[in-house]
Structure 1
Amino acid sequence: MTTRNRGRQPRVLYLSFYFPPSRASGVYRARATANHLAEEGWDVTVAAAPLKFLHEAIGSVDEKLAETVDERIHVERPRLNQFVWERDVRKFSRFRQAMPVTARWFYDLGQRVFPEHYASWGWASVRRALRLHARRPFDVVLATGNPFASFAAAWLFNKITGVPYVLDYRDSWTLDLFADEPHYEPDHPVWAWERRVLRGASRAAFVNDALRGWHAERYPEVADRMMVVPNGWDRDLLSVVEAPPAEASREAAAPLRFSYLGTVTAAQPVEALVEAFASARQHPDIADSTLNVYGHLGFFRGSDVQLLERLGLDPARGQTDDAATGVRYRGPVAKTDVATAYAESDVLVFLAGGARYVTSGKIFEYMASGKPIVSVHAPGIAATEVLAGYPLWFNADSLEPERIAQTMIAAGKMARDLTPEAREAAKRHAATYTRDRVLAPLESELRRLAGAPRETAGPEGVPA
């Protein structure tokens, strides 16, 4: 390890397309990573998505979340060619309006170089980074995907400058997590790109060991550089260390409040959840209970109608709750306000799509609440490795509605009889997954690569 940075602040370029105010599913890991590095003394520059794309193309923002980004972090927003997202012909460039076929040909040509619609952002990030690097050199690059143009950008920047880079697979590039099979045909160019960027990377991080193992099997030549950096929960966004007054004053005989907090997506077993809850409400201990759904319906405009229907609600009539089924859609909750939603819940429902490689970042803050958790997902997903040590976990290990209903009834009984000691035991397990703890090994690895060892105090309190 070199010591070229001893005595000065190490500098990191963080390639993270989805960064606040984006509300994409991976943005909380990105926000936490950047904040953690800044808190540990890093000079952090983030290359993120253009605000125009977040507001106009996908309409997916949480302005309150942006306020939680450490003020020491510098955010750059390189341009993105929004060719495939632009639907209004009046906003087309003059060239595209005059020669649409030729414009499409040039766009497709770029896709053949790097097969992703975010490629232009990746190249623009490299150009912007080179200008910044010429003024004050970066010591290391951290790239998170998706999109995976960030990986290609880190690779190219390394080729030009020699600056080492680390890849953070918060998602899988070539594995379809929901079908549990490769996402691309064997001859697709994405495979060559993944091999290329992995070979050049100093380290590659994955959110669970199952994903690390899948990639290690396919790229054994770099398996020794792969590590696991799980997701975690954010203390600054989830103030539930002590029982809030809303919980303390709840009447023991009041109807139970089951809650799901998070984005509802088409990949989740929503129908199984609704059917199971309807069945559970036939039991006297669960009768009159409600199933509260907090969060956005999908990540993009127009996805809410279908998802409301899957919840058994009628969007045509503006229906957001059904007294007959007990299902209530409570709408989006800003990340900064989720603690209140947890305080107003008795049992949390962990609804997840996908197969064995799925963890989901939501499960960590569920555990931090110290509440009973009911699993509604396929058996054997990676999240069960995290939940296995949580004493208030109720798992049907099945998507059969009747089996899920029985776990709901058991979790409801636990919620009524929950003791302070049981809740504290649950919180002790959750405490092992705070963001600072899970990110510490990644920060240490970045520091090693940057040649910036952490200074230690000598006998007289002077840095050694």
Structure 2
Amino acid sequence: MENSKKVLIVTYYWPPAGGPGVQRWLKFAKYLPEFGWEPIIYTPENPSYPLVDETLTKEVPKNLKIVKTNIWEPYQIAEKFSKSNKKFKGGQFDVGKNQSFISKLSIFIRGNFFIPDARKFWIKPSIKFLKKYLTENQINTIVTTGPPHSLHLIGLGLKKELPNLKWIADFRDPWTEISYYKHLKLTSSSDKKHRQLEKSVFENADLTLATSYTDAENFRKNGANAFCVTNGFDENVESLNRKIVKNDIENSILQIHDSAKFTLSYVGILEQLRNPENLWKSLKELCEKQPDFANDFELKFVGRIDDKILNNIENSVLKNNIKNLGYLAHDESVKEMENSDLLLITNFPNESSNGIIPGKLFEYLATGKQIISFGPKDADVETILDKTKAGKHFDYSESGEISDFILSLYNDWKSGKSIENSANINEFSRKELTQKLAQLLTDLKR
């Protein structure tokens, strides 16, 4: 493949990293060659991942070139002093009265002493290494993907060193506009520095990618040449769904009745900042008032659920309805999605989170199952659910309609009626999205 069609992707998360952060560029790397681009991965040799999923290494294309250098991170030291650092590294926070002094101190240190984040020590060595590597291999297009947003500073440094370089900054989550930013206990000078660095990335990147419509719009308002390329689902998940959808009504009914429980599942990490308390309240009330529902209902967790959330649910009428499977490999997680009747997705409650579209939403869509979502009003997730007719979105303050929605689906399940959605979701397939990305890359070369 011609040198002009090579693209170097700078990413912290790469197999065997688990969780949603690794999926986006793993899938882009899989399909980019089909559209005339050769991806090359640059990633740490010795990263400190909050989650590990060895099965994802099987999905790495065999001919993909991967370049690695060492990184030094302070997390391993911090974890010796506080378990909260493991949660923090995985994007989880203790909030309010649940915060211990050690937790508050570690968050303050992280927000003010490690700007933009604790992977900052990889910036200068990477700029030095990649300047030489890019030049020697005649690569003039790079992508940096964050968080961690320190990786964008690698791109910023290379852009200044190599003026002809085309640089795409991919924001899987926003920087200063993400909901937990206000929980970092930043001093005014630290806040100013974060915002200056973010602005510099927006203004110097040739192209800024956002994973949601709202984020792209906000980035443009802040000086970025921003486009939206959402996350999506892989073709193998879609084909699995099609096999299910093609079943005739009789087989669908048999399949439904083979499932002994009406199952509501949450797959992923659930922390206190995205805790749908009114959902738990509605489920408790349904179990108390509807004996049949209480007998048929199963609340399934796949992933990492905050201990305080789990303890609260376990110390209630729902304790006998819980099935907590813990973290599973990605392919096993997809199977658990398939073996559910209703899938839960949660977002941060404030308006600034309208643009967050969790990556698992698209895998949820591919299963054809109904989805119940919690987040701010008019969120991008709500737009997608309305467009695909795949479920219902609720504001965190809503309560009564939650019970009505769940009870309606339960009654359909009880009567043997299919409760799957059938809307067209092809535009969210990884291959279609990669074609869109490839076109953006090609346009940059002109």
Task: Identify whether the pair has TM-score above 0.5, normalized to the shorter chain.
Answer: yes
Determine the structure 2 residue equivalent to 1:76: 67
CA distance in 1, matches of 2:57, 2:315: 32
Instruction: Determine helix, strand or coil for the equivalent of 2:233.
Output: coil
Q: Find the aligned partners of 1:393 and 1:226 in 2 and give their Cα distance.
A: 29
25, 32, 38: which one aligns with 2:27: 32
1:176 is displaced (CA, Å) by: 2.9
| Structure 2 equivalent of residue 200 of structure 1 | 204
Q: Supply the distance in 2 between the matched residues of 1:416 and 1:397 (Cα, whole angstroms).
A: 27
**1:390-445 CA distance string (max 9 Å, x none):** 2241344454444322211122234456767x84xx34432221112223222111
Structure 1 distance, partners of 2:430, 2:185, is 30
Taking the aligned partners of 1:340 and 1:83, their CA distance within structure 2 comes to 36
What are the equivalent positions in structure 2 for 1:383-402 lying under 5 Å apart?
A: 383-402=381-400
**Counterpart Cα distance in 2 of 1:21 and 1:333:** 13
Judge conservation of contact 1:357–1:382 (CA < 8 Å) in 2: yes
Conserved? CA contact 1:38–1:44, under 8 Å:
yes
Letter aligned with residue 125 of structure 1: S
The Cα of 1:376 is off from its aligned counterpart by 3.3
Partner of 2:269: 263
State whether structure 2 residue 293 is matched by structure 1 residue 286.
Answer: yes
Partner of 1:118: 119
2:106 alignment partner in structure 1: none
The DSSP-based 3-state class of the residue aligned with 1:448 is helix
Is the 1:246–1:344 contact (alpha carbons within 8 Å) kept by the matching residues of 2? no
Find 2:215's aligned residue among 211, 225, 228. Answer: 211
Q: Which runs of no fewer than 5 residues in structure 2 stay unpaired?
A: 81-108
**Correspondence list, 1:449-464, <5 A:** 449-450=444-445
Residue 251 of structure 1 and its aligned partner are, at CA, apart by 1.8
Label 1:249 to 1:197 Cα distance change in 2 as closer, same or farther (>3 A): closer
1:249: which partner in 2? 255
- Cα distance in 2 for partners of 1:367, 1:417 equals 23
Once the two structures are TM-superposed, the CA of residue 9 in structure 1 deviates from its matched residue by 6.5
| d(CA) in 2 for partners of 1:340, 1:215 | 36
Contact kept in structure 2, 1:398 and 1:404, CA below 8 Å = no
- Deviation, 1:120, is 1.7
- Residue 210 of structure 1: CA displacement? 1.4
Aligned residues: 403
* AA of the residue aligned to 1:348: L
Aligned counterpart, 1:139: 140
407, 410, 422: which one aligns with 1:409: 407
C-alpha distance in structure 2 between counterparts of 1:387 and 1:325, whole Å: 31
Structure 1 Cα separation of the partners of residues 270 and 22 of structure 2: 16
Aligned-pair CA distance for 1:146: 0.6
- Offset, 1:358: 2.2
Q: What is the CA–CA distance in structure 1 between the aligned matches of 2:381 and 2:150, rounded to whole Å?
A: 27
Does the aligned pair in 1 maintain the 2:389–2:423 contact within 8 Å? no
Q: For residues 198-243 of structure 1, what are the alpha-carbon distances to aligned partners after superposition, in whole Å with 9 as ceiling and x for unaligned?
A: 2221111111121122222233xx4xx2111112112235632211
CA contact (8 A) 2:14 2:43 kept: yes
TM-score, normalised relative to structure 2: 0.80
User: Counterpart in 1 of 2:334?
Assistant: 339
2:279 aligns with 273
Rounded to whole Å, the distance in 2 between the matches of 1:344 and 1:169 is 32
Structure showing greater radius of gyration is: 1
Distance 2:129 2:255 in 1: 54
CA distance, structure 2, for counterparts of residue 183 and residue 112 of structure 1: 11
Letter in 2 for 1:443: A
* Residue identity matched to 1:25: P
Relative distance call for 1:439 and 1:427 in structure 2 (3 A) is farther
> Following the alignment from structure 1 to structure 2, what is the Cα–Cα distance between the partners of residues 362 and 279?
28
| Aligned ranges 1:37-436 → 2 under 5 Å | 37-54=32-49, 58=50, 60-87=51-78, 115-161=116-162, 162-177=164-179, 185=188, 188-219=192-223, 222=224, 225-237=225-237, 239-243=240-244, 248-251=254-257, 254-281=260-287, 282-283=289-290, 286-297=293-304, 305-312=307-314, 324-355=319-350, 356-416=354-414, 423=420, 426-436=421-431
Normalized against structure 1, the TM-score is what?
0.77
For 1:126 and 1:247, the matched residues in 2 are separated by: 58
Q: Secondary structure at the match of 2:165?
A: coil
Q: 1:416 to 1:432 in 2, by over 3 A?
A: farther
Cα RMSD of the aligned pairs, angstroms, is: 3.3
